[in-house]
């Protein structure tokens, strides 16, 4: 069905909820005027609606394929990619110093969400490239920056990240890929990598692989890992793609979804690579790319949720069945209304969280303030985990709204569920995100968390003048979350934190969603107030059970023996 970009939601959130005016008022982002913001959102919406959306089904039905060592992409993907590249959408947030537009991450996040809704399989390619650009900006030598970044920004070349190996999934430190010095400043990269998104295509001139590998003197574990640029075609003296490097696509994975996105097994056989950053400093450099991608992946979850919501709502509006009042369409049934309302309320909450995260990233860049940096770091795992969970849940509920037709592939409802499922897994599973939240992100004794909670409570206090019942519920939820955070910070045994990490992260997201909905009720129209009432009264109370779980510790969990769990 046709997709309509939720431009009004983006604009409303930026104007009234997430504090985007702070970003636009900085000298660094002075170009992000209201007129420019509106123009960018409008042009991106037009591209996504008219060019990318028609490609979504084609990518599912006609997957990327490997023929004689060449990856052939889905019908129409080359044209779609060209529209993304020539429109300047890849380098939106890259700095002007390297040829980017220097626009806020908040705008890039909004555009990435639209592209994810329209065609997630294709959107993965520019997302990987955006992350690589940021990693190179921060860590690469001037020579590498000057050669690669302009080509990545223009879309002439695309970027990938190569972490995972068959024996080293989340345990990146177990990798075996080797990097041997060639004696001329380059390195011979040898090893195999798996799950490499957009490792090859038939529409860019070159593919630039960032590869984690271990130098001969690299110690075991993550501290001995270095990062290398390993291009498909070695640039010649003029910077143009030259001779083929010693690497190849071994196979493409047969996946549950995202069929239009080629996910490859890569073999490096003494391929020529260039060190990015310091020797043995590969994880720090790669994490720059991964943190960029984690917000991007959370945004993918929101994008799929929006697309699934639109399709389910349209189906429910037209489908006549049963003895529903009014028009007789199933949207008049209370339970269908409940499903659609929960889908819409959660999608809006998730969108608000990703944009809050993006604002923090923008303010950290524009001001260099440690408080903004800490906030961006704290919100990133929440954005990645909660928003991809929402994508899965909303897509699943969308199938339920369709009834039996949701299980029939021709309606397209099932594709959303299949495509988004991997988002909870890649770029660090959602469980790992939650563990990071309760461990590393609370190493400041909870200071970043408490600052956010203070703002939520202040917002609730102000809202009591117009929406006292809703405001009290949000204030109480923030106070409960404060107490749970204090309890977690007091736990010296990390397992006691980890046992409740996932419910804690979801509870924090629930409260952030309540905060956004409450502010929307105060500053928006009657429609936004009705949706906020639904969320705060029916969905926010979930935080009570989640926090009870989070504060239970690990004893009862670890008391369950392995025999209890294995049939």
Active-site residue numbers? 427
The token pair that represents 72 in the structure block: 């052939």
Cβ atoms of 150 and 129 closer than 8 Å: no
Bridge partners of 227, per DSSP, are: 212, 276
CA angle 362, 280, 370 (to 5 degrees): 25
217 phi, psi to nearest 5 deg: -100, 15
Neighbouring residues of 500: CB distance < 8 A, sequence distance ≥ 6:
438, 488, 549, 550, 551, 552, 553
Q: Which two tokens stand for residue 184?
A: 């001329």
The Cα–Cα gap between 64 and 119 comes to: 14
Residue/partner pairs of 409-412 with CB below 8 Å, 24 or more apart: 411/311, 411/315, 412/1, 412/56, 412/57, 412/311
Q: Rounded to an integer, what distance in angstroms lies between the CA atom of residue 17 and that of residue 19? A: 6
Q: Is the dihedral of CA 518, 520, 526, 531 positive or negative?
A: negative
Are 259 and 167 in contact, with CB atoms under 8 Å apart? no
Number of Cβ within 10 Å of residue 167's Cβ equals: 11
Distance of CA 400 to the CA centre of its chain: 25
Q: Distance between CA atoms of 355 and 383, rounded to whole angstroms? A: 9
* Maximal CA-CA distance, the chain: 79
The single residue listed with the structure tokens 């990071």 is 436
> How would you classify the pairing of strands 157-162 and 206-214?
parallel
Q: How many C-alpha atoms does 306 have within 13 Å on its Cβ side?
A: 31
């Amino acid at each position: 069905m046709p997709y309509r970009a939720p431009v009004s939601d983006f604009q409303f959130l930026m104007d009234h909820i997430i504090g985007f005016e702070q970003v636009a008022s900085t000298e660094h982002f002075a170009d992000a005027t209201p007129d420019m913001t509106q123009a960018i959102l409008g042009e991106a919406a037009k591209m996504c609606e008219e060019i990318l959306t028609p490609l979504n089904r084609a990518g599912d039905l006609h997957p990327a394929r490997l023929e004689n060592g060449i990856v052939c992409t889905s019908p129409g993907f080359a044209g779609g990619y060209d529209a993304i590249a020539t429109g300047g959408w890849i380098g939106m947030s890259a700095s002007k110093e390297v040829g980017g537009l220097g626009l806020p991450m908040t705008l890039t996040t909004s555009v990435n969400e639209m592209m994810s809704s329209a065609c997630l399989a294709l959107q993965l390619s520019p997302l990987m490239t955006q992350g690589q650009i940021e990693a190179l900006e921060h860590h690469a030598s001037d020579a590498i920056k000057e050669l690669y970044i302009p080509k990545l920004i223009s879309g002439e070349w695309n970027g990938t990240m190569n972490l995972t190996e068959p024996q080293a999934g989340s345990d990146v430190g177990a990798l075996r890929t080797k990097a041997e010095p060639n004696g001329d400043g380059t390195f011979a990269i040898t090893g195999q990598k798996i799950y490499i998104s957009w490792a090859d295509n038939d529409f860019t001139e070159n593919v630039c692989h960032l590869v984690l590998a271990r130098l001969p003197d690299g110690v075991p574990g993550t501290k001995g890992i270095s990062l290398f640029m390993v291009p498909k075609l070695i640039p010649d003296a003029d910077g143009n793609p030259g001779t083929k490097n010693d690497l190849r696509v071994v196979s493409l994975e047969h996946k549950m979804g995202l069929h239009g996105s080629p996910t490859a097994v890569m073999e490096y056989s003494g391929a020529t690579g260039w060190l990015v950053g310091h020797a043995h400093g590969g994880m720090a450099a790669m994490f720059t790319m991964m943190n960029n991608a984690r917000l991007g992946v959370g945004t993918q979850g929101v994008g799929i949720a929006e697309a699934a919501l639109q399709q389910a709502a349209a189906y429910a509006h037209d489908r006549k069945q049963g003895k529903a009042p009014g028009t007789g369409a199933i949207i008049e049934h209370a339970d269908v209304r409940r499903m659609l309302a929960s889908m819409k309320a959660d999608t809006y909450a998730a969108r608000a969280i990703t944009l809050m995260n993006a604002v923090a990233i923008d303010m950290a860049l524009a001001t260099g303030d440690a408080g903004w940096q800490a906030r961006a770091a704290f919100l990133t795992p929440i954005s990645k985990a909660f928003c991809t969970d929402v994508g899965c849940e909303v897509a699943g509920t969308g199938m339920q709204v369709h009834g039996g037709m949701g299980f029939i592939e021709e309606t397209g409802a099932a594709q959303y569920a299949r495509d988004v499922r991997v988002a909870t897994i890649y770029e660090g599973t959602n469980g790992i995100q939650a563990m990071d939240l309760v461990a590393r992100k609370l190493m400041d004794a909870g200071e970043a968390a408490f600052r956010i909670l203070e703002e939520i409570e202040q917002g609730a206090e102000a809202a009591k003048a117009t929406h006292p019942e809703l405001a009290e519920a949000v204030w109480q939820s923030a106070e409960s979350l404060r107490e749970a955070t204090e309890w977690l910070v007091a736990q010296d045994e990390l397992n006691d934190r980890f046992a409740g990490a996932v419910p804690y992260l979801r509870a924090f997201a629930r409260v952030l969603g309540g905060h956004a909905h409450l502010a929307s009720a105060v500053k928006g129209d009657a429609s936004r107030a009705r949706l906020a009432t639904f969320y705060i009264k029916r969905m926010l109370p979930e935080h009570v059970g989640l926090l009870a779980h989070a504060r239970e510790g690990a004893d009862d969990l670890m008391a369950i023996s392995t025999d209890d769990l294995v049939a």
